[in-house]
Each structure stands twice: as structure tokens, then as C-alpha cells.
Amino acid sequence: MEKLKLGVSTCLLGENVRYDGSHKRDKFVCDVLSDFVEWVPVCPERDCGMPVPREAMRLIGDIDNPKLVTNKTFEDKTPMMKSWMSGKLDELEKENLCGYIFKSKSPSSGMTRVKVYNAKGIPEKKGVGIFAKAFMERFPLLPVEEEGRLNDALIRENFIERIFVYYRWQQVLKEGTKSAFVNFHAAHKYLIMSHNQTATSRLGRIVAALNSTNLSELQTQYFEELMKVLERKPNVKRHCNVLAHIMGYFKGELTHDEKEEILEVIEEFRKGLIPLIVPVTLLNHFVRKYDKEYLKIQVYLKPHPSELKLRNHV
Ligand code: SF4
């Protein structure tokens, strides 16, 4: 499989581009994800023409439409940033990114809870970095996260799952056939169910309405709905439900002992005694043993490379 393309705040890759000439190298980004990802680095402040080092900046004014101003000399850098941004977003559109990892807290790159100062100089942590906001408005379906939030195992697993879904969807669009679309939905059935049980049939109805003229319209509708569904993180209850559904698929073939073994492992997962990887590995073993073609294609059983060990912690 080719590497996925992800946008990233340049300082997270260890490049000395910050206002003080330093970096914010992130271990997960550089040491773990790099094996699977081709990075498209963006440092809005440096790339729009500001020097390194430079005066530190902050957001001031209206929370929804703040200005980017230097801390000591009060120089308004908003016009400079905005005129660079529109061309940069056009450029990024051509990159076919599958997601983006932003540097948290930055007035340019922060995705959530960025400080915005009011006229009295009092900050409220309700803003979004000026570039991050424009990026998310331009690419509303693209999975985005901040490096700090990725320390949370559930958020991390959810984000990585979504970037791989995005990648597989790009292949469907490239192929441009009804069968690629139908197969995509079939393969993601249990993954979708782990986020929202009713969404599987809702999305299935969109696929079932396919005819000779509406492929692109339904693909747009389907993918918008899918990305919304996947943003909601699966919980233990929903995982247990999916695991039981998968087991039900080959219940008739399992021996009494095998059935007991799976049920025990699902119960231990439900109680928080073992991570998700254990019941999933066991089910994968029986999928292979009983040669279940339909389950072999299920993305839920292998949503991202095992080397990332994401399900060892959820
Ligand atoms: S946070 Fe963004 S603007 Fe600041 S140094 Fe990093 S990449 Fe550049």
C-alpha cells in the first residue's frame, strides 16, 4: 500500500520554524506514523513570509473572526496571512490529503481552544488558529486532529481509523464505478456499526438507491453522512455488539468450546480486563479457520496497520 498523505504543522516534524527558532517534534508523528504517512508540512507563519525567529503573536478581538497581532509591536499580520492562505489552500486541494495534524494552542495552527484576547487583554480559550479555521472550512470532511489530543488512545484510534477510511474512499472515487462504491459499503458494514448501529442501514439505503445516473450525487451524500458517523467514537457497548454480530455470522460452525472461548473473551473486554485487540484477534483466527469470505473483507477486523498497535490501548 502506498503511503497516505497527511498535512502537518511543520514544527511537529522537528523543524526549527517556531517564533523562537525552536521546534515541537512529536514522537508519535515522527517515530510511529512516519512509516505509513507521506507528510505535507505547512508552517503558516514561516510560509507566508515571516522570518524565523520572529516576534510571538496572539489572536485578538472577535472569537469567530479574530486578528493575528504581534505581542509587543501590535503589528496586524492578518492581511499577510490571509493573502497567502487562499493560494495555499488551492495548492493543498491538489495534494489529495487524507487528514491533517495541527499544532495545538497556536494562533495560526491550533484547532481548538486557542486563546483569543479581548480589548482588556483577557484571554478566552475558545478560538481556532487563523490557518486551521480556514483549512477546516475549506475541507470540512477531512479528518483533522491536534498532536496533544492524539495522546488520548480513543481519539488517536478514531483519527487513524478515519484517515484510512478517507484513503480507501479516494480509491473508490478514482475507480468511479458502482461496484467499487457497493463493495466499499459492504466492507465497512461492521466498522460503521461500531460507531452507530442504525447508520449501517441508513447508509445502506443510500447505496441501494443507486441507478445509472446518480452515482456521483449519492457518493457525495454517502460520504458526508459516513464521515459524520465516524467522528463519534465507538464505546465498549457498541464494540461488544459488533463482536457478537460477527460471531453470529459463523455460530453454526463453531464448536461448543470455541463459542465459549469467544464469549468469555468478549465479556473480559466488556469488563475492561483486556483490550479490543484480543477479541478481534480471536475472531480473525476463526474467520480464517472457517474461511468466511464476507468477514475477511470486513475493515472492522483490520481498520489500520497492526504495527500502530492502536487497539492494544482501547
Ligand atoms: S504552530 Fe504552526 S505556525 Fe507555529 S511554528 Fe508550528 S507550524 Fe509554524
**0.85 surpassed by pTM:** yes
The preferred substitution site among 108, 111, 115 for testing ligand 1, maximizing ligand atoms within 8 Å of CB, is: 108
The preferred substitution site among 6, 8, 10 for testing ligand 1, maximizing ligand atoms within 8 Å of CB, is: 10
- Report the separation in Å between the CA atom of 109 and the middle of ligand 1, taken as the mean of its atom positions: 6
Provide residues with CB under 6 Å of ligand 1: 9-11, 17-18, 43-46, 103, 106, 108-109
- Report the separation in Å between the CA atom of 100 and the middle of ligand 1, taken as the mean of its atom positions: 13
At 127 the pLDDT is 97
- SS3 per-residue string spanning 178-223: HHHHHHHHHHCHHHHHHHCHHHHHHHHHHHHCCCCCCHHHHHHHHH
Ligand 1, atom 8, lies closest to the CA of: 43
Looking at the predicted structure, is the pLDDT value of residue 212 above 90? Answer: no
What average pLDDT is seen over the chain?
Answer: 96
Amino acid at 229: V
Q: pLDDT tens digits for 226-266?
A: 999 999 999 999 999 999 999 999 888 999 999 999 999 99
Percent of the chain having pLDDT more than 70? 100
Between CA 74 and CA 212 the distance in angstroms is 59
- Report the separation in Å between the CA atom of 116 and the middle of ligand 1, taken as the mean of its atom positions: 17
- Pairing mode, if any, of strands 114-117 and 123-127? antiparallel
- Report the separation in Å between the CA atom of 12 and the middle of ligand 1, taken as the mean of its atom positions: 8
At 282 the pLDDT is 97
Helix (H) or strand (E) holding 294: helix 293-296
Amino acid at 251: K
Looking at the predicted structure, is the pLDDT value of residue 1 above 90? Answer: no
- Report the separation in Å between the CA atom of 107 and the middle of ligand 1, taken as the mean of its atom positions: 9
Q: pLDDT tens digits for 72-117?
A: 999 999 999 999 999 999 999 999 999 999 999 999 999 999 999 9
